Structure 1
Amino acid sequence: MTTATLSDDPRFTGLFEAARALQPRTVSLRRQLHKHPEEGLDLPKTQAAVLHALEGLGLHISTGEACSSVIAVMNGEKSGPTVLLRGDMDALPLREDSGLAFASETDGSMHACGHDTHTAMLVSAARLLNSRRDALAGKVVFMFQPGEEGQHGARYMLEEGVLEAGGRPVEQAFALHITSTAQSGVVMCRPGPMMASADAYTVTVTGKGGHGAMPDRAIDPVPAAAAMVGALQTMVTRRFSVFDPAVLTVGRITAGTTSNIIPETAELEGTVRTLSDQTRKLVQAEIPKVCGHIAAAHGCTATFKINTGYPPTNNDGTVAGRVLDLASVVLGSRNSALMPEPLMASEDFSYVLQQVPGALAFLGACPPGVTPDEAAPNHSNRVHFDESAFAHGVALYAAFALDALR
């Protein structure tokens, strides 16, 4: 169906207004979660809050064994396919300095990436869809996921059967991610690569320790490590296409204990981001080659370790286009924007999108009084999200399910 046809669909009539009517509930749950953040895979308080918020909606609810996940399944009035909507729930190890009245009460922990907002919006979307079950031909799986911030929570939920929780395999999946650095209420999506893979690597250079006054009697690993930094950057610019990029950063170099000792080892640690599996494999193969040859040229040896993170997040082209059409119809054309380029951060919703056609979209929530360029970004201890954008997210979650289960 075209955007024009969607605009005539009675199922979307009043959807945004219904989401706005739920705003007090959405904000209340979000603030409760924000005040009591939990990190990682074990989120007992957050899980309990979600379960309480879903009470009375007639959902089939199950919880995870490997992590504090919640899966809630809604049956439509008629049979049909199954769609999945995801909201992540975990916080970050950060001391909040936002000045909000509902700031974190847990020292050193903060919802700095907006996962509290995702969870609250998804709960309200479930409430909204519950009032419109007669328009659903199929099932909706609400995926409340812990451990997105590096703990592979989505992978655990996949292993525990989230895609089969509705009794038949999920056919489409959708997730929203809020951002403070985009205009409030605007939904941004794109087909193909949406976010990057994220891998961490460590290179250990081994030489021969000695006295700093007699380097000729030692084999200094420090110059070898220093040479590797420039060589790795050159490798990226000369071995990889600008149209399928790799971003490589050396974030830490460690060597030695004091000024007059040549250490035996030096260590480099960094991150690699790519947008395709092909480039990801190539860069993982090239780093040890470059570092190994440079180490040998300096009389040293080098060992390489890779800590594999999330794969690239790739949106299905049809589903991504549909998300933008739905945003235009339900929220207004000014609130639907094609994202011009991928974001080189990573997301574990990528695991879901490896198995199911779907899309991840960004929801702008730049706070009042500042421009998106001035706003504290996600992962900042001062980040603040405009709560009026929540209704946009609730409405879009609901619209996606209503459209897929027509």
Structure 2
Amino acid sequence: MDFYKRAVELKEETIENRRYIHKNAETGLKLPKTKAFVMDRLKKYGLEPEECGDGVTAMLGKGGKVLLLRADMDALPMPEQSGESFACPTGAADHACGHDFHAAMLLTAAKMLKENEDMLEGTVKFMFQPAEETFEGSKNMIEHGILDNPKVDAALAYHVSPGKMPVGLYMYNDKDTMMYSVDGFKITITGKGSHGAYPHVGVDPINIGVHIHLALQELIARESDPAHACVLTIGQFQAGTAANIIPDTAVLQGTIRTNHKEARELLVRRMKEVAEKTAEVYKGTAQIEMISEVPPLICDPKMTDEIVGYMNEMNIPGLTPYPDVSASASEDFAVIAEKVPSTFMYLSAGYQDERGTYPAHHPKVQFNEDVCPIGSACLANCAVRWLAAHKE
């Protein structure tokens, strides 16, 4: 079966599905319109979708080994400025990371695999997940059994990538960490409010927050092994309502990212210790809440090499391997990859003209829809080939 030829025939349908999801962008765990659309399309294609937590799943095949194909569906909480005719009109959400492509490509792959279900020498399980951007979606669906009944043996996911690059590159890493861990944290500092003219009768949580911020930077400068890539960023500092009032509380929020498991454990532990002890020095207290906890994304080398081989067999013009890619961004597919052998790849969806100017997560980013048949074909072909190679 030439899945690429069929995917080209279905390109306009894939684009139509992508544009519907894009125009109706939703964020977080609850994606009612997107979820209903995905379930409706799967039913139209002859599958029997089911809810799995706040996501959607469906299956094809006849027992044997089980391969999970995953797509995320959520957008970012930001207004869109892409200028596209199908831009989200709400101003509250924007598919600036390309998850609309992932869902649309997997829908087309599901349609093609249903058309050729007799070729499957095992089972394909589909995973349409919410809340990747908040690092909640994979955990939500795992808690509701996505990796069980039947037990998943391996998993595959693609992520489109914008920028000034030709369509057809596929980027992977079969040797090292592909994407960094992410541990989001919220530090709530409690002091004692007072008049700004009498700071000595209060405990200033802003002052404590400033010292915590500075002290946390030293964890990177003086405690992290230079051989490991580590990032600690404070992205929010909120406190106070007026210039002449010392408030009772202040809040810092940030993230820790690293490509190394032991470095991650050290930084998370020391972040908590430094925040608590620094607050204590200045007569306040600090309470730490972990917002997200996602490990580094490490792909299974053997499986990745197999998937690369299956992709190289396909007659797709311009399809070009780009190995040893690593990114300091994070991806909650890592939670799945920690539990079952998995492969994750980027597919270039950029433009080599001015449309490729903006990166993912920018309100003006644009993605090239020529990637649609490539992604759909690779998902379908790799599923068939992997199951045939691992049949029981």
- Would you call these one fold, judging by a TM-score over 0.5? yes
Matches within 5 A, 1:3-402: 14-55=2-43, 57-64=45-52, 66-67=53-54, 69-75=55-61, 80-150=64-134, 152-165=136-149, 168-181=150-163, 182-191=165-174, 192-216=176-200, 218-330=202-314, 331=316, 335-341=320-326, 343-367=327-351, 369-370=353-354, 372=356, 374=357, 376-402=358-384
- The separation in 2 between residues aligned to 1:302 and 1:316, in whole angstroms, is 39
8 Å CA contact 1:19–1:394 kept in 2: the answer is yes
Q: Quick one: distance in 2 between partners of 1:229 and 1:281? A: 19
- Unmatched tracts of structure 1, length 5 or more: 1-10
8 A contact 1:94–1:109 mirrored in 2: yes
Deviation at 1:160, TM superposition (A): 2.4
Instruction: Report the Cα distance in structure 2 between the residues aligned to 1:217 and 1:63, rounded to whole angstroms.
Output: 56
TM-score, normalised to structure 2, is 0.88
Cα distance, 1:208 vs structure 2: 4.6
Deviation (angstroms), 1:86: 0.8
- Are the aligned partners of 1:327 and 1:336 in contact in 2 as well (CA < 8 Å)? no
Query: Once superposed, which parts of structure 1, at least 4 consecutive aligned residues long, lie more than 6 Å away?
Result: none
One-letter amino acid of the counterpart of residue 197, structure 1: S
Name the amino acid aligned to 1:130.
Answer: K
Shift of 1:143: 1.3
Give the Å deviation of 1:250.
1.4
Distance 1:294 1:52, change over 3 A: closer
Aligned position for 2:386: 404
Distance 1:325 1:242, change over 3 A: farther
Task: Give yes or no for contact 2:70–2:126 (8 Å, CA) kept in 1.
Answer: yes
Any stretches of 5+ residues in structure 2 without a counterpart?
A: none
Cα separation, partners in 2 of 1:152 and 1:295, compared to 1, 3 Å = closer
TM-score, L = length of structure 1: 0.85
Task: Give 1:80 deviation, angstroms.
Answer: 3.1
- Identity, in percent, stands at 36
CA RMSD of aligned residues (A): 2.6
Question: What is the CA–CA distance in structure 1 between the aligned matches of 2:115 and 2:346, rounded to whole Å?
Answer: 26
Counterpart Cα distance in 1 of 2:293 and 2:202: 37
Deviations 1:197-236 (A, max 9, x none): 2222233444454454455555544444323222211211
Maintained 8 Å contact 2:66/2:122: yes
- Structure-2 residue corresponding to 1:5: none
Deviation at 1:389, TM superposition (A): 1.0
Local SS of the residue matching 1:54? helix
Question: What's the CA shift for 1:371?
Answer: 7.3
Could you tell me how far 1:246 is from its partner in structure 2?
Answer: 2.4
Aligned length: 385
Deviations 1:111-170 (A, max 9, x none): 2221111111011112222333343211111112222221622222222222234xx322
Cα distance in 2 for partners of 1:47, 1:301 equals 43
SS of residue matched to 2:335: helix
